[in-house]
Amino acid sequence: MKVLIGVTGCIAAYRACELVREFQRAGHEVSVVMTEAATRFVGLETFAALTQGHAKVSLFEDEDPIPHIALAQWADAFVVAPCTANVCAKAASGIADDLLTSTLLACTCPIFIAPAMNVHMYESAATQANLDVLRARGVHVLSPDEGYLACGEVGPGKLPDPKSIAQWVCAHAEKRPQALSGKRVLVTSGPTQEPIDAVRFISNRSSGKMGAAIVSAALDAGACVTVISGPVAISYDARSEVISVMTAEEMFQAARKAFAEVDVAICVAAVADIRPESASAGKLKKGRDDEALACISLVPNPDILSWLGHHKQEGQVVVGFAAETEDVVAFAKEKLASKGADMIVANDVAAHEVFGADDDVVTLITEEGEEELGRLSKDAVANEVIAAIASMTANS
């Protein structure tokens, strides 16, 4: 594999030297492209020595008049590690003002970004929004490690170990069988919002991150994916079709309509079990509408997973998610049987550490048994779920 490593202006730039060696030890051919700022931390000559001269920094000081196109065409994988907040923002906005960002924009190969920066810069709304945009476009983003940072602060923002980065890239970039090639997959994701009045609603803590990870994993496995999503602040992979809804009833109607045309339905959404029987057109005000506020009549919402499970045709696979606070596996097994599902992905949300987080601990429940996965990133969980579904579809 031909690996192009992008190095940006970060104190962790020196670790990119180790990354070059990790890829070379694994038998891959490596070239390096740097920003001008990166050369303040590690000289171009260092990377040139490590790569037998295959290191560049300028768009214009090269014998090739269009080096960014040549590099983009050469690479089988482009790995930007470390990637500063500035380059994350440029990549998300499509800015191409130097050799690295111009090459990034021209690349058609898989792109991998390993952000490294101050904890507050990483956690800022702007950086997180930029990373969400990149993920939605199919860019692989490796979450930074937590630890003691160069600035003296402690938290996420540390570049992961180069060996881990190399393994991560190879696992995603090398050719893998398209386990769901030709399959059509429906994913429900995010929360639903059930209006009480013009400004209030019943909802839950779901962020949609797990749904987004499932969508990308299914697409990477070769599936054609439709997402029915409640209100979320994240973006879904741009390769998918996204249908936006608000209420459980809207999600149910959209899912019921789409179900006949799909091979697999994955119900990741945290659907509100109940809704107000009627919603006020205006805002209910204290002192004027106290009686209405004190007694809000609730009615059940449609059970989307159950409807799909009991209406599936031969060959269709239906998967549900179960967020429980106690007796997680026992309740998931009951749900598997009562909903007519083929698999339940169960997780313990008692500590509220799952909602909005980047990792999770789940157990896969099927009629054949249960498989507990250790703590994994949600992307890794999604890959495990899709692999299990692929086995089911292969046997159906």
What is the torsion angle, in degrees rounded to the nearest 10, for the CA atoms of residue 16, residue 22, residue 27 and residue 33?
Answer: 0
H or E element, residue 20 = helix 15-25
3-class secondary structure, 136 = helix
- The answer to whether residue 83 is catalytic is no
The pair of three-digit structure tokens given for residue 210, joined into one six-digit string: 């797990």
Q: Which of 65, 135, 76 has its CA nearest to residue 108?
A: 76
Angle CA 119–35–143, to nearest 5: 30
Instruction: Quote the CA–CA distance of 264 and 244 in Å, as a whole number.
Output: 19
Strands, DSSP E only, in 134-273?
A: 140-141, 145-148, 154-158, 184-189, 194-195, 201-202, 224-229, 241-244, 264-267
Using alpha carbons, select from 318, 371, 365 the residue that is nearest to residue 345: 365
Q: 37: which DSSP letter?
A: G
No. of H helices and E strands in the chain? 14, 22
- The encoded tokens of residue 39 equal 């050369």
The CA-to-CA distance between both ends of the chain, in Å, stands at: 35
How far is residue 7's CA from residue 42's CA, in Å, rounded to a whole number? Answer: 9
Is the four-CA dihedral 167, 355, 385, 175 of positive or negative sign? negative
Given 107, 151, 170, 224, the catalytic residue: 151
Contact between 86 and 12 (Cβ < 8 Å): no
DSSP secondary structure, 162-183, as one string: HHHHHHHHHHHHS----TTTT-
Q: Which amino acid is at 60?
A: F
Which residues are identified as catalytic?
151
